[in-house]
Amino acid sequence: MFETYFPLAVMIAAATVIGVGQLVLSHLLGRKSKSPKKLIPYECGVDPVGSARERFPVKYYLIAMLFIIFDIEVVFLFPWAVVYKQLALFGFIEMAIFIFILFVGYVYIVKKGALLWE
């Protein structure tokens, strides 16, 4: 059993040594110059204005969750497409039902106005 996991242990050890080694070397060999300009946050070349502790609207998270849900559901189309010929008519009907359920969910969220950004 040791022979099975030995390559994995070597890979994990090598990755850890390389990662830690790069961090230590950059800390030891890197230039250490601190200035006020280097300490401010940088985003798109524009000086930051206001607080970084800004509240996001709930609508933002709702759209993100809907995207994730529909994105994950669409992933199920790929395995179906790979074995489409073997499933024949039964597989086609099952996938049609699956897509219909997704479509009903999409129509529901559109009618509720979940995708409208105000």
Q: Is residue 35 part of a domain?
A: no
Residue pair 71/78 in contact by the 8 Å Cβ criterion: no
- How many other CB atoms are found less than 10 A from the CB of residue 78? 8
Q: Is residue 39 part of a domain?
A: no
**What is the tens place of the pLDDT at every residue in 51-70?**
767 787 788 888 888 888 88
pTM: 0.50
Q: Are residues 60 and 25 located together in one domain of the fold?
A: no
> What CATH number did the domain enclosing 92 receive?
1.20.58.1610
Q: Which pLDDT score is estimated for 34?
A: 80
Q: Are residues 114 and 80 located together in one domain of the fold?
A: yes
Residue 107: helix, strand or coil by DSSP?
helix
Q: Is residue 63 part of a domain?
A: yes
* Structural domains counted in the chain: 2
Q: Which pLDDT score is estimated for 56?
A: 77
CA distance from start to end of the chain: 59
* The two structure tokens encoding residue 4: 């099975």
Q: Which pLDDT score is estimated for 2?
A: 79
Q: Which residue has the higher pLDDT, 109 or 22?
A: 22
Residue 82: helix, strand or coil by DSSP?
helix
Q: Which domain holds residue 13?
A: 1-30
Q: Which pLDDT score is estimated for 43?
A: 63
Q: Which residue has the higher pLDDT, 38 or 12?
A: 12
Q: Is residue 95 part of a domain?
A: yes
Q: Are residues 73 and 118 located together in one domain of the fold?
A: yes
**What is the tens place of the pLDDT at every residue in 65-95?**
888 888 888 888 888 889 988 988 999 999 9
Rounded Cα distance, 108 and 114, in Å: 9
